[in-house]
Amino acid sequence: MKIFSPAKINLFLQILGKRSDGYHDLITLMCCIGLYDTVSLTFGVKDIAVTCHHPVVPEDDTNLAFGAAHLFFKTLNKNEGVKIIIQKQIPVAAGLGGGSSNAAAVFLGLNRYYGYPFSTEELMSMGLSIGADVPFFIFQRPAIASGIGEKLEAYQNLRNLKILLVFPGFSVSTADVYKKLNLGLTKCEKKLKSFLLNKQRFDPRCHLCNDLEAVTASEYPVIKTIKEALLNHGALGALMTGSGATIFGLFSDSNAASEASHALFRTHKWKMHLTDMITQGTGYKIQDTGYKI
């Protein structure tokens, strides 16, 4: 079974406060995008094993996909195995949720293979113990997430804008970013108050906001440089996703996004990817049948 496992972006990310358990309460609007890893599952093997060609992705039980398979079999009360091969296209530790998406792909793929023993809600509950973003990927729709990310409300007022992702070539530690966050300096609350109160239609010219951006950009000034470059080349708005370091620009059409990509590539050697927002249905697809999970 081969499953396309999508990345996500945070269209806004407001940090509300730190909890007694060390996590942070937040509210964020997330959407899957058309950039995929491929997760291949081979059944009928004795143990759980993970293989990935990317040099920094672990191949042991610290891999989130491994953890998802282990928890699935434990909850199902089956002593079985699966071979997991992950082909990475999503940059690692870049704010795009690749590891969480891979874990969700394993949950969804195993659940399909074993005849859907668990409901979506049960999978989401299992996924939360693997990572805060995993329930969103299992949910499979654009959503406003709150709590630590586990409380999900479907959001349907998204235009399918074109996206130019810019990855500057380095990874960021989410834990380090949160440690350095000064809640007194966060700015999203005022910007998003009306949007959240009235459930407005998302407008990239007004509602893009990320409380973590200032923290990451203070250490990596190139983030501000990339944002300015995207805006100067026609983006309706630009923002760092998650804890970084990927920045995305939103464009009204493919031509504008493509022109910006060519212009930026002529002067910078950043890694870039043109793609779309997935505003309807699921981003997960099984390659061999064409059926969506």
At position 54, the amino acid (one-letter code) is H
**Residue appearing with tokens 């995305």:** 248
User: Structure tokens of 290?
Assistant: 């064409």
| Candidates 8, 88, 162, 227; catalytic one | 8
Catalytic site residue 133? yes
Q: CA 138 to CA 94: how far, in whole Å?
A: 20
| Candidates 133, 162, 211, 227; catalytic one | 133
Degrees to nearest 5, angle at CA 41 with 37 and 43: 180
Can you tell me whether residue 69 is helix, strand or coil? helix
Query: What stretch of H or E contains 86?
Result: strand 81-87
Query: In this structure, how many other beta carbons lie within 10 angstroms of the beta carbon of residue 255?
Result: 11
Catalytic site residue 227? no
User: Structure tokens of 124?
Assistant: 């989401």
Q: Roughly how many angstroms between the first and final C-alpha of the chain, as a whole number?
A: 11
Alpha-helix residue ranges (DSSP H) falling in the chain: 64-76, 98-113, 120-128, 134-139, 174-180, 188-198, 213-219, 222-232, 254-267
Pairing assessment for the beta strands 237-240 and 247-251 based on DSSP bridges: antiparallel
**Which residues have a catalytic role annotated?**
8, 133
